[in-house]
Amino acid sequence: MSGRIVGQSVERLEDRALLRGEARFVDDISFPGTWHVAFVRSAHAHALILGVDKTAALEIPGVHAVLTMADLEPHLSDRLLRVALPSPAYRQELHRPVLADTEVVHVGEPIAAVIADSRYIAEDAAALVVVDYDPLPAISDCRDAMAPGAPRAHKNAPHNIAAEFDMGYGDCDAAFAKAAHVFRESYWQHRGVAQSMECRGVIAALEPMSDVLTMWSSTQTPHAGKRVLCGLLGRDEDKLRVITPDVGGGFGPKLVFYPEEAVVALAAQLFGHPIKWIEDRREHFVSTTQERDQHWDMEIAVDAQGRVLGLRGALLHDHGAYTARGVNVAYGSAAAITLPYVIPAYFLDIKLVVTNKVSVTPIRGAGQPQAVFVMERLLDRAARELKIDRAEIRRRNLVSGAQIPYKTPLKTRGGMQVVLDSGDYPACQAAALERAGWEAFHTRKAAALAKGRHIGLGVANYVEGTGRGPFEPVSVRVAENGRIHVASGAAAMGQSTKTMLAQVVAEQLGCDMSNITVVAGDTGAIELGMGGFNSRQAVMAGSSAHAAALKVRQKALHVASHMLQVGEQALEIEGNVVRLKGGDGPQVELAEVAKAVAGLPGYYIPGNVEPGLQATEHVIINDMTYANGTCVVEVKVDADTGLVTVSRVVFAHDCGRVLHPKIVEGQIIGGIAHGLGNALFEWMGFDENAQPVSTTLAEYLLMSSTEMPPPIEILHLESPSPLNELGIKGVGESGVIPMTAAVASAVEDALSPFGVSITKVPLSPPDLIALIHGASQEKRS
């Protein structure tokens, strides 16, 4: 059901400026008289702050101020950033201070802000700020945090548990008691960094005539940021505006409100100068939130045919030092693990553990990659033990097409029932397997092995909850010059949001993309908004854009029919005119329609409509829509060095109706690259004192072009979601979710002659060599 614009790979609205160097990222914004900030950050993972000596720093020419909490506190309503999502699971409050003044709990925590004429001078001075620390023992590994007598990550905390809860349904004890087989295994997925190519940044300026404080921040959630800032600074809503300019990638952490935003905004208010802070890459490693460190101890119960009877265990989630978002990542993991499969009984004990490391909040995938890794590893284990084909054991357990809509016993974090609304999971898996040549692979593998080469094939399924509600507003307005202005609370961080919204609107209003301007992420353009996260914007903002565009369309046709004296049914909108269908007849420009409904003093509005050719919609969709997919990965492993080369990726997926095929594929391929990085390269190391050991991009390895596999083979299945008018499901995180699982499955397959068992990612060459040697020693002994 493609339209003329919707469903087509039209040119992106964003491209021209980006390609010509004319885009406006936050560091591209500057004003005369801007002062620059460098933060003094904690050198310790855990310490008491005994004092801060600013004297030497303040003597540097060009330095205007060195701000600590003592300087900020009189101007703030609160010392803390209370941004945690609600949950009954918290066991202690762990809100971040705006600046640390008594205790630091992770390396990189901001303590003071140096404000100077230039960043160079600010950094000179920051190096001269002397912080007197009293170091305390630090928690680096979340497992150690739970040991009896472990030091506390926060000195005065009663324990190291941030939150705990359990999740489950069915009778696990009975399921395990009657099971033919029970397999037990521990799994670990390591912490990573989002590494958007643009780091974070913020510039704030007070406009003295209007007394409006404007903050441009590379945030995914400008409306939420505005709410926090209004509260902290005590400003009225109409005296504060937050704008998300062009953003060089978000990937999750930019949805969080950060201390730096509060400090910069307050400084702009205090000094009357524009104030700018741009995060550098080394700061990104120690101050931007991270994710994925989870330890799972799991048991799976299966019958003799490999049908899953029960799943149970415990999840230890590294929460980092503070609650910067909520229990959502761990909740997302726990709620995702069973989704693709029929699992009669499930129980998970979940503990979120405080460590002296950067806070954990969602990164693309948000807990789901870990859950999929664990589930798929368990199925591979069961398949191996039962000597069932790995794809076959999945087929036996997948929710079938006939079971959809499948009401799971699970609830979302907001208490809504998880209902798998659409899709055909076994068909999706079958499509991927067929394309990948799954059936015949064993002959290729044997032939390669005969030549001393180790190749392997792996498979993983995922189901992803997308389109987190309840709404995302969109306004559509035809200006009096005929130009169509779209504004949304959705925030664009590089995922083509503006193009997506313009497509949906253009489809109803003349099909001319060049006639549409989109403002996304400006609190001055639309009052409410949620922002960009959880693969939600096409679903939520797209639905509102569709509804608003339809309303404007109906109104334009109605008014034009009065102006032209032609029945509405006979009219169409084409380009910038409303005309008789086919174009042979009277017509009126959209601009004229807009002028007509703007009204004239003392005259009727044509058609007797409400003034203004515009509409704002907040389509409410509470239930999430569930996208799914199957990934098959082929690898070759150099058993001498442990080097894994990904030689092929087949990705079959279903995100419902596709609005823009190239954008959807781009999201998937980008997610796959991210997931391959998580599987093979990305390692955010900390030593035993929780000092980070990877703080440059030479140490933290991102996927580069030479490590990518040959072009990824993407298969689209389209089961429209019944939950929204457009039939779409989110896709922004799909690519990343099954990758660690699929790669681990493939590597384990390639190394099956050695009997290697893979239970953690990333898979580094030294670890693989140790596994190969260990396994072969085990075989010998």
Rule CB under 8 A: say whether 716 interacts with another protein.
Answer: no
Nearer to another protein, 626 or 681 (CB): 681
Q: Which residues in 484-503 contact another protein (CB under 8 A)?
A: 493-496
On whether the CB atoms of residues 740 and 678 are closer than 8 A, the answer is: yes
Count of beta carbons in the 10 Å neighbourhood of residue 11: 11
Question: Which residue of 608, 706, 777, 781 would you call a contact of another protein, by CB under 8 A?
Answer: 706
Nearer to another protein, 25 or 183 (CB): 25
Least distance to another protein, CB of residue 155, Å: 27
Stretch that binds another protein, among 18-26, 224-232, 308-316, 531-539 (CB under 8 A): 18-26
Spatial distance between the Cα atoms of 603 and 738, rounded to a whole number of angstroms: 62
Question: Which residue of 702, 716, 774, 776 would you call a contact of another protein, by CB under 8 A?
Answer: 702
Stretch that binds another protein, among 341-349, 351-359, 449-457, 703-711 (CB under 8 A): 703-711
Q: Which residues in 121-140 contact another protein (CB under 8 A)?
A: 123-124, 127
Rule CB under 8 A: say whether 196 interacts with another protein.
Answer: yes
Least distance to another protein, CB of residue 496, Å: 7
Stretch that binds another protein, among 163-171, 557-565, 576-584, 692-700 (CB under 8 A): 692-700
Nearer to another protein, 212 or 775 (CB): 775
- Mark out the alpha helices in 698-764 (DSSP H runs): 739-750
Question: Which residue of 331, 341, 681, 754 would you call a contact of another protein, by CB under 8 A?
Answer: 681
Query: What letter represents residue 37's amino acid?
Result: V
On whether the CB atoms of residues 639 and 453 are closer than 8 A, the answer is: no
Strands 760-761 and 181-189 come out as parallel
On whether the CB atoms of residues 296 and 187 are closer than 8 A, the answer is: yes
Q: How many CA atoms lie within 13 A of 282 on its CB side?
A: 7
Least distance to another protein, CB of residue 364, Å: 9
Rule CB under 8 A: say whether 147 interacts with another protein.
Answer: no
Rule CB under 8 A: say whether 765 interacts with another protein.
Answer: yes
Rule CB under 8 A: say whether 539 interacts with another protein.
Answer: no
Rule CB under 8 A: say whether 32 interacts with another protein.
Answer: no
Spatial distance between the Cα atoms of 680 and 694, rounded to a whole number of angstroms: 16
Instruction: Kindly list the distances between the CA atom of residue 376 and the CA atoms of 250, 502, 513, in Å, as whole numbers in the listed order.
Output: 28, 39, 43
Least distance to another protein, CB of residue 661, Å: 9
Q: Which residues in 213-252 contact another protein (CB under 8 A)?
A: 246-249, 251
First to last CA, the chain: 62
Rule CB under 8 A: say whether 696 interacts with another protein.
Answer: yes
Q: How many CA atoms lie within 13 A of 494 on its CB side?
A: 16
**Site map 55..94 versus another protein, x via CB under 8 A:** -----xx---------------------------------
Rule CB under 8 A: say whether 386 interacts with another protein.
Answer: no
Nearer to another protein, 452 or 766 (CB): 766
Residues 6+ apart with CB under 8 A from 603: none
Rule CB under 8 A: say whether 600 interacts with another protein.
Answer: no
Helical packing angle, 497-508 and 537-564, nearest 10°: 30
Spatial distance between the Cα atoms of 352 and 163, rounded to a whole number of angstroms: 5
Rule CB under 8 A: say whether 341 interacts with another protein.
Answer: no
By CB under 8 A, how many residues form the interface with another protein? 76
On whether the CB atoms of residues 85 and 366 are closer than 8 A, the answer is: no
Question: Which residue of 665, 733, 748, 749 would you call a contact of another protein, by CB under 8 A?
Answer: 665
Question: Which residue of 22, 53, 211, 237 would you call a contact of another protein, by CB under 8 A?
Answer: 22
Nearer to another protein, 569 or 705 (CB): 705
On whether the CB atoms of residues 302 and 178 are closer than 8 A, the answer is: no
Rule CB under 8 A: say whether 39 interacts with another protein.
Answer: no
3-state secondary structure 530-588: CCCCCCCHHHHHHHHHHHHHHHHHHHHHHHHHHHHCCCHHHEEEECCEEEECCCCCCEE
